[in-house]
Structure 1
């Protein structure tokens, strides 16, 4: 499989990249972003773009999947600012990739509770993004709606308040996963589910936490 990965240096993207590098059927990975990921592998290549909104993606063709892991917190942002980051940008990327990648599986990380008709700003924006990207008519589109994602393997969040939460919660994550398995995921499970979505698809375009876990657990 040939994989495009947006946001490979973020918390979720690092976990997805780790799983891609573990997968024997992944033959080529292009990480697209402002900075290159620290991992090194003959299959891993980097396309550095200083401004994602203006990125020329015309050279990216015949990929099997695009894992869109770029995310942003809505805290302190107006609806217009958040819409530009979490609706307009992923929609633009998907539109640019569509014609040159006819067999593309586009997987987009949104969030639990995303809803086009919600009164909550971030839920409404992400729901609108899900709807509009799906409407492009890509070969396959999946919106992943995770809740809490536990970083594994030394992965850290770039956002200080989130990292503080993960640090404080680390001793309790095993118990939380046991008691509430459908409320928490790990970076590894998200990456495994994305790969399986590309390999085999899924009956529904929108995957909640339980669906992501089920898909991750499938062994090809």
Structure 2
């Protein structure tokens, strides 16, 4: 199976990539990235496609992706690292542009788009909702509406919470240096409220398996958006945590 991945040099994306590389059922990985991805060195089934403009996909690029059956869209940025306009463009516009482009790869056959959202995203924001929650909720809704208009284009919005890399040593050489506040908070959250934890190993496995699926609606009281929104509690259940 041929899968697409973005955000491979980030925390979630690195966890996904490690799983994809280890899974025999994933025969080919096309990684869209602005820069080289060190983790794939020596892995023949992975190809890094240097892509600078995530709002545009030309015919030559789509030709390389034409038989892909799914994508894990882990590309993202912290709202603290860019201004609101840039955050909206990266989080909403890039994602929707990719969805529209990938829907043309083989419209007569299913394609599954797995969007890495986050706990705190909401489609009903209040005046107190932070920027990331408002914008991620908006792109979740945009993807779902696009799916309804294009039935063979399937969507899962997945909301990890406290992304925990500590017990996934295979990715440690390839991820950015994590902030001290994360190093301090994660053990505390892990000790007092495990349902908010999202370990990168199991998370990468679940995200990959969703991308490999036919995109059928999921079931469970912790699944929303007509079976297409996976809360962190649902992810943990699916991962056996």
Unaligned 5+ runs, structure 1: none
Do 1:15 and 1:155's aligned partners in 2 also have CA atoms closer than 8 Å? Answer: no
Corresponding residue number in structure 1 for 2:236: 213
Do 2:72 and 2:208's aligned partners in 1 also have CA atoms closer than 8 Å? Answer: no
Query: Which of 180, 186, 203 does residue 193 from structure 2 map onto?
Result: 180
For residues 136 and 184 of structure 1, what CA distance do their matches in structure 2 show?
30
For residues 33 and 68 of structure 1, what CA distance do their matches in structure 2 show?
11
Which digits, 9 at most, give the CA deviation of each residue in 1:145-183, with x for residues without a partner?
11111112225653x6x432343357x37xx44642311
Do 1:146 and 1:209's aligned partners in 2 also have CA atoms closer than 8 Å? Answer: yes
Do 1:196 and 1:215's aligned partners in 2 also have CA atoms closer than 8 Å? Answer: no
Corresponding residue number in structure 2 for 1:193: 206
Query: Which of 78, 82, 86 does residue 81 from structure 1 map onto?
Result: 86
- 1:96 positional shift: 0.4
For residues 237 and 2 of structure 2, what CA distance do their matches in structure 1 show?
23
Query: Which of 126, 133, 156 does residue 142 from structure 1 map onto?
Result: 156
Do 2:112 and 2:213's aligned partners in 1 also have CA atoms closer than 8 Å? Answer: no
Q: Which has the higher contact order (CA 8 A, sep 6+)?
A: 2
For residues 32 and 6 of structure 1, what CA distance do their matches in structure 2 show?
5
For residues 82 and 209 of structure 2, what CA distance do their matches in structure 1 show?
34
Alignment pair present for 1:92 and 2:97: yes
Query: Which of 95, 115, 118 does residue 111 from structure 1 map onto?
Result: 118
Q: Say if 1:217 and 1:26 are closer, same or farther in 2 by CA, change over 3 A.
A: farther
Match of 2:118, SS?
coil
For residues 91 and 147 of structure 1, what CA distance do their matches in structure 2 show?
22
Alignment pair present for 1:131 and 2:144: no
Do 1:142 and 1:206's aligned partners in 2 also have CA atoms closer than 8 Å? Answer: yes
Corresponding residue number in structure 2 for 1:3: 3
Do 2:9 and 2:175's aligned partners in 1 also have CA atoms closer than 8 Å? Answer: no
Unaligned 5+ runs, structure 2: 220-226
Match of 2:194, SS?
coil
Corresponding residue number in structure 2 for 1:165: 181
TM-score (norm 2): 0.80
Match of 2:48, SS?
strand
TM-score (norm 1): 0.87
RMSD: 2.2
For residues 84 and 179 of structure 1, what CA distance do their matches in structure 2 show?
36
Corresponding residue number in structure 2 for 1:63: 68
Range that drifts further, 11-20 or 187-196: 187-196
Match of 1:36, SS?
coil
